[in-house]
Amino acid sequence: MPATPAWPPASLPRLYVDTELADGAALTLEGAPAHYLINVLRLPAGAQVKLFDDRTGEWLAELADTGRKRVSVRVARRLRPRDPVPDLWLLFAPIKRGRIDWLVEKATELGVARLMPVATQRTMVDRLNLERLRAHSIEAAEQCERTALPELEAPVALDQALHDWPGDRALYFADEGGGAPLAKAAEPGSAAILIGPEGGFTESERETIRAVPQARPVSLGPRILRADTAAVAAIALWMAAAGDWGEAANR
């Protein structure tokens, strides 16, 4: 079953919890989720919410008791299991705050399974706040009805990411220098998309990438896209050609 939700979306508040959910389970929410339910939505005891845990799926739950800073919740029943996610990784060079937040949010909505920041020779951003990026990813998953969060990896050097690249995973390398159109090149199966930094890849990096047997240089059209636009465009093209958008469109 595709990860994309049915339409129209149900209107109950929907939250991720980092606790395994089960029939009848009681849990206490604190921090940002509690603040959202108590102070933003002002939900009373008895109100229903949807919870998902990235492990067992999505559950209907009821607020049992609301305090000023915490809320206790009782899980009623499972609404759906954890959805399978198309096996697409996104390798991207870190870009500046704001743009990278947007990229992570959109990549989550579009359905990637794994987010992998890679440091390239022209990468200008040397420190990443993974906690902030994870919060953006969770918020996007809550909003778009994903039941599975994308994995968010710590940054690694491009060479390291390419070293021992899995033999069964196609590497679609977005090369502004040219390549096959991604819409035509994308094939079903395990895949990754590699997007360069704002300054592009160096010639030596291009050679290293092209030397990976699974690498396929692909084009995203005749215009040079910003890195964040390129990432989103590439994911959309792959999802439509080889991911779960075809099935979702027929639901």
Cβ contact 191:218 at 8 Å: no
Instruction: Give me the least distance between CB of 158 and ligand SAM, in Å please.
Output: 11
Nearer to ligand SAM, 133 or 234 (CB): 234
- Select from 5, 86, 94, 196 the one that contacts ligand SAM (CB under 6 A): 196
Nearer to ligand SAM, 84 or 199 (CB): 199
- Nearest Cα neighbor of 214 from 169, 164, 157 is 169
Question: Judged by CB under 6 A, does residue 193 bind ligand SAM?
Answer: no
Nearer to ligand SAM, 201 or 245 (CB): 201
Could you list the beta-strand ranges (E) of 101-164.
Answer: 114-119, 151-152, 156-157
Instruction: Give me the least distance between CB of 218 and ligand SAM, in Å please.
Output: 7
Cβ neighbour number for residue 41 with a 10 Å cutoff: 12
Nearer to ligand SAM, 54 or 175 (CB): 175
Residue nearest to ligand SAM (CB): 196
Measured between alpha carbons, how far is 93 from 119 in angstroms, rounded to an integer? 6
The string of DSSP codes covering 207-248 is HHHHTSTTEEEEE--SSPPPHHHHHHHHHHHHHHHHSSHHHH
Contacts with ligand SAM in 198-237 (CB under 6 A)?
198-201, 219-221, 223-227, 230
Nearer to ligand SAM, 6 or 224 (CB): 224
Instruction: Give me the least distance between CB of 63 and ligand SAM, in Å please.
Output: 45
- Nearest Cα neighbor of 178 from 160, 145, 200, 152 is 200
**How far from the centroid of its chain's Cα atoms is residue 104's Cα?**
6
The three-state secondary structure class of 249 is helix
Cβ contact 58:50 at 8 Å: yes
Contacts with ligand SAM in 141-180 (CB under 6 A)?
174-176
Nearer to ligand SAM, 46 or 221 (CB): 221
Instruction: Give me the least distance between CB of 195 and ligand SAM, in Å please.
Output: 4
Which stretches of the chain bind ligand SAM, using CB under 6 A? 174-176, 195-196, 198-201, 219-221, 223-227, 230
